[in-house]
Chains A and B, each alone.
Chain A
């Protein structure tokens, strides 16, 4: 069995995941990068995208993160993300419906604040949808 790297995925509200994996591919700000056991210490910011967890050659888990940070030190990978969702938990139809709703909200918004919030919400949902492709 290959050497494993410990990964902690934390959001401000809770510790989402703490387990050992063979390889983790992260959406770094300057391009995707893979982390294997024995990676040199690294700190990187993340863009919104998908974290892929590999077991051997197969992709085991896909997690969407809405930006954040990753830190590698002593065979330990820590991902700080403000929001993280398993891609498998996303439902395409539901998501499209929510984007539609957000778009309508944006159009119907009476003041700048609600419009901004609706627009943010829409962009965010769009990113989630893109992640599913």
Chain B
């Protein structure tokens, strides 16, 4: 009879696990909707920033006095990598795939003899990278305090990066994040943010208009570039937030389904055991009656 009780307990525990994963899936779905809305709402600003950047940058291209944020320091020896991940686990391969992409890039850069520094955003990424690249990680930006990513959350990262760039601590900055494609798919991307990369499509279509500039091109560009960096980082964080919830949603859906399968299997086993126990009891009674 002990076996029956054990099975019953197991079914109970799997059922409560299923309840939890189901609830997590619903929560992730709701959060995903918000995250997607936020990502969509941020799009107009980023797009217009891009086109403004493109029209300004095309005029500056090839000039010696172009700002460093645009033209680079002239070397690509020292790299800063921003590894943007989530603050929580239980979201499938989300954090791992970003960490993997980062470590591949780091290995490649180190093999090429470059200096690499890593700035972690989100503690899950740091946990994954700590063992292998602990000495390269310079800091961790913790976003667990903010429920929904706002532009203000991007600011400390931007200031940190700009401060380091001004202090001449790196030449090239790349941010790794997961681009939200759909609930099922998230694409890990490495995007170079310093020196700023200009989207080519935008550059060609704005070329024919001659703009007046106030104050002048250099000053506007000098003000625009840090903001552009902020927008790029903000966008990466938003994409990441949506990806994380998407990944969690599908992971939890899988978990719920697996738990359901397990419950079915265990219930079947339980019923069989129960029937077997009843049968053997009956046999005992009948054979006992026959013996009399």
Chain A 72-113, CB-CB to B under 8 Å as 1, else 0, gives 011000101010000000000000000000000000000000
Partner of A41, one of B56, B151, B210: B210
Give Cα A45 to B45, complex, Å: 15
CB distance from B138 to the nearest CB of A (A): 17
Which chain B residues border A8 with CB–CB below 8 Å? 44, 48
- For the complex, what is the distance from the CA of A13 to the CA of B231, rounded to whole Å? 10
Could you tell me if A12 and B220 are in contact, using CB atoms closer than 8 angstroms? no
State how many residues of chain B have any CB contact under 8 Å with chain A.
28
| Chain A CB within 8 A of B52 CB | yes
- CB <8 Å contact, B52 and A80: yes
Query: Is B245 among interface residues, defined by CB-CB distance under 8 A?
Result: no
Cα(A71)–Cα(B56), bound, Å: 11
Instruction: Please tell me if the beta carbons of B215 and A13 are within 8 angstroms of each other in the complex.
Output: no
Contacting residue for A43 out of B52, B230, B231, B234, CB 8 A: B52
Of B46, B211, B227, B234, which one neighbours A73 at CB under 8 angstroms? B211
How many chain-A residues does the 8 Å CB contact rule pick out?
A: 24
Encode A42-69 as 1/0 by CB contact (under 8 A) with B. Answer: 1111000000000000000000000001
In chain A, what residue has the closest Cβ to B227? A82
Q: CB distance B44 to A82 under 8 Å?
A: no
**Mostly helix, strand, loop or mixed at chain B's interface?**
helix
Say whether B266 faces chain A, with CB atoms less than 8 Å apart.
Answer: no
Asked whether, in the complex, the Cβ of B49 is within 8 Å of the Cβ of A80, the reply is yes
Contact indicator A29/B214 (Cβ below 8 Å): yes
CB–CB A43/B215 < 8 A? no
Residue B209 at the chain A interface, CB threshold 8 Å = yes
Q: In the complex, are the beta carbons of B151 and A78 less than 8 A apart?
A: no
Residues of the A chain whose Cβ atoms lie less than 8 Å from the Cβ of B234: 12
- Assess whether A71 is in contact with B52, with CB atoms less than 8 Å apart: yes
How far is it, in angstroms, between the C-alpha of A42 and the C-alpha of B41 when the chains are bound? 25
Please give, as numbers and ranges, the residues of chain B lying within 8 Å of A71 by CB-CB distance. Answer: 48, 52, 211
> Which one of A8, A30, A40, A43 has the highest number of Cβ atoms from chain B below 10 Å of its Cβ?
A43
Residues in B neighbouring A41, C-beta threshold 8 A = 209-212
Given A12-B46, A12-B234, A80-B227, 8 additional A-B pairs, CB 8 A: A8-B44, A11-B45, A12-B231, A13-B45, A45-B223, A69-B220, A73-B209, A78-B48
Closest CB pairs A-B (n = 8): A14-B41, A44-B214, A12-B151, A10-B45, A42-B212, A15-B44, A41-B211, A10-B44
A binding-site residues for B, Cβ under 8 Å: 8, 10-15, 28-30, 33, 40-45, 69, 71, 73-74, 78, 80, 82
| 21 residue pairs bridging A and B, Cβ less than 8 Å apart | A10-B44, A10-B45, A10-B48, A11-B45, A12-B42, A12-B151, A12-B231, A13-B41, A15-B41, A41-B210, A41-B211, A41-B212, A43-B52, A44-B215, A44-B220, A45-B215, A45-B220, A45-B223, A74-B209, A80-B45, A80-B48
Could you tell me which B residues sit within 8 Å of A by CB distance? 38, 41-42, 44-46, 48-49, 52, 55-56, 150-151, 209-215, 219-220, 223-224, 227, 230-231, 234
